[in-house]
Amino acid sequence: MYISFVTEYNKNLYVSRWLLLITFLVSIMIVVGGLTRLTDSGLSITKWDLVSGLIPPLNEKAWINSFSLYKEIPEYILENSSMTLDQFKYIYWWEYAHRILGRIIGLFYLLPLLYFTFKKVIQKDFILPFYSILLLILLQGFVGWYMVKSGLTENTDVSHYRLSLHLTLAFIILICLFWSYLKINYQKTERVFKSIPFNLPTIFVILLLLQISVGALVSGLDAGQIYQTWPLMNEAYYPDDSKLKDLFSLVALETPSLVQFIHRNIAYLIIFLFLWIVTLVYKNDAYNHLKKTIQVVFIFLSIQIFLGVFTVISGAQIVLASMHQIGSIFLITSSLVLVFKNSTN
């Protein structure tokens, strides 16, 4: 019986470490992807070669050939016609790192998954979730190319809708991975704890994911480079370049100032919801098991608010904007721990 327990423990240990590794790699991928966007590097590689794309240009002739392909797209013709080969190399390496990391994640997830399946290491309850994550990873590769494709013909940039889809899917994969990690590592406790009503922590995470999606729209429209004031947008709560009725139409998602306005107000809603959760937890001793997690979420939420404000004030300065995206990773993973503890009883 003891040997059986140790064997089962080792199996869970291997799987949990693998999940944690992939979660970390996906987090790095999100950060690199954000920097690829912030440096306007996403269209530097105009072809998607799954195998041959592993090899970057290795000599001057290869670099010139890659640069010539870039010169054919609207981004170069209309915006970067004065770009030098050295400047092209800079944006190329960002996009190359992003694509290579995507392939690494795919292999590091697929190969151990097949091995664990063959060796019957994975518990039956996790087979379907793990292979569903694999499908999401494959879908993410397609969505990535679908996004890049939108900027190669008529536009000087990728579709902000496709950019948002790409980032949102990345966070969904991150959430699925980290949730699986939590489920494998922390069994349901025998003691019954009281759960926060109305699934408020879950709603909190959903709002965070929505905010991340809208944040990608802000990035795609360069909406962070306008209205560089807070808490007002210049001298008004509502942007003065739009009509109020536009907020309730699809025009809102096409107008940079309105997208920034939506992003700000979802943040206020998130803060309000979190304060509601905090009030419930600290007014009832039945929620004592959640207090430490609430404190961690509070720290990351406070940092994220601080970074968000200064990103706006700076006009989306690249370091602050990247730190703001990194903050979203810590905030959503710590919030998932809150959801998990709230549902474990």
Query: pLDDT tens across 102-126, in order?
Result: 999 999 999 999 999 999 988 888 9
According to the model, what pLDDT value does residue 6 have?
41
DSSP secondary structure letters along 209-240: HHHHHHHHHHHHTTGGGS---SSSBTTBSS-T
* b/e map 3-20, b = 16+ CB within 10 Å: eeeeeeeebbebbbebbe
Which residues on neighbouring strands pair with residue 236, listed in sequence order?
Answer: 233
Total tally of structural domains belonging to the chain: 2
> The pTM is what?
0.92
Contact 132, 59 (CB under 8 A): no
Same domain, 220 and 334: yes
First-residue to last-residue Cα distance in the chain: 26
Cα 173 to Cα 105, 135, 292, 329, distances in angstroms: 11, 10, 26, 12
Same domain, 203 and 176: no
Domain-terminating residue out of 187, 212, 239: 187
Distance, in Å, from the CA atom of 133 to the CA atom of 144, rounded to the nearest integer, reads 16
Same domain, 270 and 245: yes
Which residues form the domain of 293? Answer: 191-345
Same domain, 210 and 111: no
Same domain, 147 and 211: no
Same domain, 92 and 27: yes
Sign of the alpha-carbon torsion through 17, 20, 22, 24: negative
According to the model, what pLDDT value does residue 242 have?
87
Same domain, 182 and 233: no
Same domain, 174 and 195: no
Q: Please give the mean pLDDT across all residues of the chain.
A: 90
Same domain, 183 and 320: no
Amino acid at 239: P
- pLDDT, tens digit only, all 345 positions of the chain: 444 444 455 568 889 999 999 999 999 999 999 999 999 898 888 887 777 678 889 899 999 999 999 999 998 898 888 999 999 999 999 999 999 999 999 999 999 999 999 999 888 889 999 999 999 999 999 999 999 888 888 777 889 999 999 999 999 999 999 999 999 988 655 556 788 988 999 999 999 999 999 999 999 999 988 999 999 998 899 998 888 998 998 889 999 999 999 999 999 999 999 999 999 999 998 888 899 999 999 999 999 999 999 999 998 899 999 999 999 999 999 999 999 999 865
